[in-house]
A and B are shown apart, each in its own frame.
Chain A
């Protein structure tokens, strides 16, 4: 224990730097993923015939282990932060995309019909009815994306992306348990904290009308 304390004290700059690196990796890739997934999910909900195939492919991609995808990214794009960022961004699209699509599809047809009935245009229906009602589902998908990406970002240490994974990989390679403990605990804490923050936001995003009577 004392050993661990001294280790943290001696390496606090490294630990701090890698924590920031990790948050940077996760922040950029999930934000980009969200920006791509939202319009894509909305488009898919308009073209259900295409959506079936796209979602099937998304499902297959999700069964590919992270280690494999990162390995291929390294073979194609080389080592470093950029190839890791590309894979993390692409992967973070998937859960958000799925939930945006199902969220919009599952909006009560009656609500859409009555919006039409009071003379809303298609754009108005989208922004005032469908998206607000789908927001809780989208938030659940985004939370999954963030949690997955925090996990994958630790793997990305393998292809030289930096971040908390770097500490764990160093520890595994050199049998230095202190590196492993610090990296693993910080990654776990980051995932748990961000997960509950998004859960909190999700509660705020739920339209008041959807909470009544529950």
Chain B
């Protein structure tokens, strides 16, 4: 078996793509989650849409996005962002819904505006749940980003796909090992942070 050479430039690119997509998804996802909380009708539609997007096979979604947005990293980022919406939006929504009514009443009683309530009370209290949504988004995103090679994006999908085409196990491994390690590493670290947040909250 040939030596496995990991190309760290590709690892870096892979990571950046997933992180950019996640950051965008956090902003959009939290916004949609709040919107769902504010409007009952919107909540049904929003949750249904993000749920359905999640179900669409990744190859199907990415190849359709490619037709619309062309080849390249930006298309992969859009696709990953769409997949990341579900965990973030849903957790924002359920996180805010789960806040004790008395706390909400208290903030209203103090004369907070709706925006203040959201930014100073509701989002901070929902944060632990939102964070676990972000964790799910990052970990699954790292895996799906491999598909980016098919729509002309960079990252670790390239050595994997080349390896499959040329039947080169070492080349496949040089892409697969960092992907799995990244996913496991992020899962581990973010789970630790999750429990730290939970500990700080509960006296």
Contact = CB atoms under 8 A, between A and B. Distances in A.
Contacts, number: 96
B interface: dominant SS: helix
Interface string B36-78: 0000000000000000100111111101101100000000000
Given A177-B67, A191-B55, A65 B163 contact: no
Interface in B140-194: 142-144, 146-147, 150, 157, 160-161, 163-164, 167, 169, 172, 175-176, 179-180, 183-184, 187
Interface string A4-40: 0000000000000000000000000000000000000
Contacts of B61: 184, 188
B57 A63 contact: no
Nearest to A63: B183
Contacts of B147: 65, 67
B176 A64 contact: yes
Interface in A191-209: 191-192, 195
Contacts of A168: 59-60, 63
B6 to A, nearest CB: 14
A80 interface: no
Interface residues of A, number: 33
B11 to A, nearest CB: 14
A interface: dominant SS: helix
A162 to B, nearest CB: 14
A7 to B, nearest CB: 14
Nearest to B157: A67
Report, as a range, how many residues of chain B touch the other chain. Answer: 20 to 34
B64 A181 contact: yes
Nearest to B175: A68
A210 to B, nearest CB: 20
Interface in A171-186: 171-172, 177, 180-181, 183-185
A151 B58 contact: yes
B163 A71 contact: yes
Nearest to A71: B164
B139 interface: yes
A74 B168 CA distance: 11
10 contacts: A63-B142, A63-B183, A67-B160, A68-B160, A154-B60, A181-B67, A184-B61, A185-B64, A187-B56, A191-B56
Which 10 residue pairs across A and B have the least CB separation, nearest first?
A184-B60, A151-B57, A71-B164, A63-B183, A65-B146, A68-B176, A188-B56, A154-B59, A187-B60, A65-B143
Interface of B: 52, 55-61, 63-64, 66-67, 139, 142-144, 146-147, 150, 157, 160-161, 163-164, 167, 169, 172, 175-176, 179-180, 183-184, 187
